[in-house]
Amino acid sequence: MTWEVSVPLQFGTALRDNSTDAELLERCKRGELQAFERLYTLHAARMKSLAFHLLGSRDDAEDAVQETFLKVYRGIERFESNSAVSTWMLRILINCCYDILRKRQRLAEKPMPKEVPAHTKLTLKVALERALLTLNEQHRLVFLMFEAEGMKHSEIASVLEVPEGTSRAWLFEAKRALKQVLTQRSQAHEI
Amino acid sequence: MKFECGDLDRALANPDLMTEAREHLRHCATCRNEYRVWNEISTTAKQLHQEWDSPDLWLRIERGIGQEPPRKRPRPQWHAWMFVAAAAVVTAIAFLSWPQLTHVKPPTKSAGQTTASERDFLTEQALRNVEKNEAAYRHSIEELSNLAQPELGSQTAPPIVASYREKLLMLDSAIEETRSIVAQNRFNVRLQRELADLYRDKQQTLEEIVASGQRR
């Protein structure tokens, strides 16, 4: 398995060093802590970023990544290499994030984002972050994985266990919805 | 086809329509703005990737892993398959063999006409079948016994395995004793049935031991 990423540079550089994924997996299955640390070095940055977008807080994102690695440790012996280990880890991560969100809902915590005062002139980035919250989960996930994390549709499809065409369609739907929200905003605020 | 504002989304999904779309964009400020936003979404999204240092995150994970219960030594997969196969063979033999012992056919004659020798003793042919099947049954139980050995010899086995061990010793001793008696009275149905019951008891005990090992 080779990640083909265009951004970010630092993460992309790290990923080019994983030519021995199968070997790493075998070492993890033997319970070698160093192998897990290597997995962490390779994948934690993307995992943290994705978790941050789902949870809206760095602390929660780190908790989700921690929980994911513990689940990976517990389950790696049963992991069969039908998909890449990174794909499997992202799938676990997304489930961990949903668990945290559900827990949050039970505790009736305020959901994510730090509200930006209405009079503030928004940068496009902030506007995009806010607009993302209007999307449904699947569209948002595909958008973040493709556009923000530089994943390919084949990888996204594998993580979400949907056909590649569905991943493409969801990305288009996500961008269309974002375009609509941002166009209205640009007309109102002249971004 | 005349390209209209409502067609922009279709053009964004279908590159074949982009030539006409570009022509339309030259004259339509609204669509031009939409198209600009469309392109900026992807550019801006790249900035959404978040990177920050988490100097203690790996340490937390490492600590978490350290608190996990020790990993069980992975059991070879053939163990489970062998157990299933052996149990199937033993069960099949138990049900199919020794029909004379487990399913004694009701006498075709009326009870009054059945002689004591017909009820209590095997015929030559029946005895040959019984002895043949007993050998196969014993062989299957030995295989099952081999599968149970790791659990019986394990230092970490639960206390109940010690009881199983004692029970097996008693059963083996009883089997040997009964076999020596049967050897002197091979046609006796009652003795053969007792021997079959002992084998069945041993089979069940071994199956419980192997299952106990599988659960752990």
| Tens digit of each residue's pLDDT, chain B (216 residues) | 677 887 888 888 887 888 888 888 888 888 888 888 888 898 999 999 999 999 999 999 999 998 887 766 555 555 566 666 767 766 666 666 555 555 544 444 444 444 554 556 667 777 777 777 788 888 888 888 888 888 887 777 777 777 788 888 888 888 888 888 888 777 787 788 888 888 888 888 888 888 877 776
- Domain(s) of CATH 1.10.10.10: residues in chain A: 115-191
Task: Judge whether A39 and A1 are in contact, CB under 8 Å.
Answer: no
Q: Are B137 and B201 in contact (CB under 8 A)?
A: no
pLDDT (mean) for A64-74: 94
In chain A, the residue whose alpha carbon lies closest to the alpha carbon of B71 is A31
Which CATH code is given to the segment(s) A1-112?
1.10.1740.10
Contact B61 A8 (CB under 8 A): no
Q: Give residue A108's pLDDT band: very low, low, confident or very high (50, 70, 90).
A: low
In chain B, where are the structural domains located?
1-43, 77-215
Scanning B57-76 for CB atoms below 8 A from A yields 57-58, 60-62, 64-65, 68, 71, 74
Q: Which of A38, A175, A189 to mutate to test the interface with B (most CBs of B within 10 A)?
A: A175
* Contact status of B10 with chain A (Cβ, < 8 Å): no
Token reading at A43 = 């994948």
Residues in A closer than 8 angstroms to B48, CB to CB, are 49, 53, 125, 128-129, 144, 147-148
Neighbours of A95 (CB within 10 A): 14
SS3 category, A28: helix
Min mean pLDDT across A24-28, A87-91, B76-80 is at: B76-80
Query: CB B64 to CB A70 under 8 A?
Result: yes
Cβ distance A175 to B38 less than 8 Å, yes or no, reads yes
Q: Please tell me if residue B77 touches chain A, with a CB cutoff of 8 Å.
A: no
More confident residue, B25 or A174: A174
Q: Domain A115-191, what architecture?
A: Orthogonal Bundle (1.10)
For the entire predicted model, the pTM comes to: 0.57
Shortest CA distance to A46 belongs to which of A7, A104, A85? A7
Q: What residue in B sits closest to A71 (Cα-Cα)?
A: B65
Strand partners, B121: B188
Contact A67, A74 (CB under 8 A): no
CATH code 1.10.1740.10 region(s) in chain A:
1-112
What per-residue confidence (pLDDT) applies to B184? 77
CATH class of B77-215: mainly alpha
